[in-house]
Amino acid sequence: MTDLLTAAQMRALEQAAIASGRVTGLELMERAGRGVVEAIFQEWPALRATSHRAVVLCGPGNNGGDGFVVARLLREWGWDVAVFLHGTPDRLPPDARANYDRWRAIGAVAPLDTLDWPLLRRTDITIDALFGIGLQRPLAAGLWGALEMAKEAGTRLVAIDLPSGLCAWSGRMLVEGIGPDHPADLTVTFHSRKPGHLLAEGSARCGRLVVAPIGLETTADHLSRDEAAWSPIEETAVDPGALAKGAGHKFTHGHALILSGPPGHGGAARLSARGSLRIGAGLVTLGCPPDALPETAARLDAVMLRPIADADALARVLEDRRINALCLGPGLGTTAREAALVATALQAARPLVLDADALTLLSQRPDLFSALHGGCVLTPHAGEFARLFPDISERLAAPMTGGPAFSKVDATREAAARAGCVVLFKGADTVIAAPSGRCALNAAAYDRAAPWLATAGSGDVLAGFLCGLMARGFPPFDAACTAAWLHVEAARSFGPGLIAEDLPEELPKVFRALGV
């Protein structure tokens, strides 16, 4: 997995590089500007061939300094460049002021409030260098209004580091009023993606996202900071070697038990069971009420079937210690019978996925919530999360007054610490957190976008993937990260027209692509 860096962590890396004498702040700013120009030419190759017009909007910090570098480089390329500054040059940081002076030797700088529509209509590219990853206060309406005017004029909008107003930590917009409607066409960030590029509104605001290298260390290992202060956020990935199966028999690869609901409600659990089997569990058993046996048996082949009438019957089934992972919730029901099943599953102290109806029961029964243990994984979507953790959800939905804003990462970490187990908070920006604070982000965004995952039953398949991996011996956090990653990859591999039944059947193709 690779780490996402917060604004503070990025600044720490830059300062460490400068303090070591390997590079100066001016050199880093020059590299950043060159990275932006190169990204523009790669995105729109026709702009490299001949001269064009650019408007560069510079802010009062180092993001503005990057903008002055971009302006100078485009002018050297032969472009007609107009530069506008929010604020006064005497307020610029030293490196930004140095690049302001270099630009002023070849071009003018106008106040931002003099930017007008006719100029933008004649412009090919507008560079948003107003505010980057360090923004901590709402962007005034006059500032985001300039960006909105640029988009409405038909110019391409390129953001440096982040679209101005986007919180680098939460992916939410820090703006006064309703905020801008138009996203950037291209965002160029440096060294590493930031959480705000992937969370909440981030991917919708950034357009295409490019990470430009600026020669910093690839890890934070050399920084003199304690581990808790660093607390990286990982981007999910998979280890093909861990997914590969070694020699053995079916029980070598685990036995997953999925519990189903009453007649007419078994489809969700069947999806989970199919997902568990396809992801590599050696055996998968579907346990259902006796009166649901005929319906369920007609739809199963490789998945085994057991009648489980009540909690006592489940306890007897679990006397078989070869059953080493359970999944409860999809289509389960929320009556006293199902609450007793959840309690028995928790008492068994085996790896346990709790989804859907099981989450509803946890939200209604404090005694069940208090029985959660470190082998559990909760997989709520936003509505289920709000029922389980109403106070945390309320903070996440509250209007922002400054940054860094309370984020989905914060919310998931707090939820995992409270529950004492792994929480997988679903969405296009899925966040996975452990009670220790370890955290990963699985974003279906940019080149991994998979909007067709928003279909009935896809979450049931994800629960099955997760249960199957835990049956195979994956620790809960690793299983959650791997399941979420494969879930998106299966959707991307299949493409438009996806329904939930397609996800397990696409896994072999994904595995082959990984070399498993």
65 assigned binding-site residue: yes
> Which one has a higher pLDDT value, 23 or 405?
23
- What was the pLDDT predicted at 229? 46
pLDDT tier, 301 (very low <50, low <70, confident <90, very high otherwise): confident
What the block records as the tokens of 66 is 């990057």
What the block records as the tokens of 113 is 């409030």
232 assigned binding-site residue: no
99 assigned binding-site residue: no
Q: Which segments of 199-239 does DSSP mark as H helices, in order?
A: 202-206, 227-230
For the chain, domains (ranges, CATH) are 2-234 (3.40.50.10260), 236-244+253-514 (3.40.1190.20)
404 prior amide bond cis, ω within 30: yes
66 assigned binding-site residue: yes
d(CA 84, CA 164): 15
137 assigned binding-site residue: yes
Mean pLDDT over the full length of the chain: 93
268 assigned binding-site residue: yes
> For residue 334, is pLDDT > 70?
yes
Distance of CA 396 to the CA centre of its chain: 15
258 assigned binding-site residue: no
46 assigned binding-site residue: no
161 assigned binding-site residue: yes
264 assigned binding-site residue: no
From the list 171, 515, 468, 435, the residue with the least C-alpha distance to 323 is: 468
133 assigned binding-site residue: yes
289 assigned binding-site residue: no
Quickly tell me which residue has 């950043």 as its tokens: 32
Give tens-digit pLDDT for 434-477: 999 999 999 999 999 999 999 999 999 999 999 999 999 999 99
The DSSP string of 416-442 is HHHHTSEEEE-STEEEEE-TTS-EEEE
- What was the pLDDT predicted at 140? 81
331 assigned binding-site residue: yes
Query: What does the angle CA 18 – CA 21 – CA 24 come to, to the nearest 5 degrees?
Result: 45
- What was the pLDDT predicted at 227? 40
135 assigned binding-site residue: yes
Tell me phi and psi for residue 233, to 5 degrees.
Answer: -105, 125
d(CA 84, CA 67): 10
426 assigned binding-site residue: yes
- Per DSSP bridges, beta strands 283-288 and 255-259 are parallel
The DSSP string of 50-66 is S--EEEEEE-SSHHHHH
509 assigned binding-site residue: no
- Whole-prediction pTM value? 0.94
Give tens-digit pLDDT for 336-358: 999 999 999 999 999 999 999 99
CB 206 within 8 A of CB 170: no
d(CA 55, CA 62): 18
33 assigned binding-site residue: no
126 assigned binding-site residue: no
Quickly tell me which residue has 């299966």 as its tokens: 490
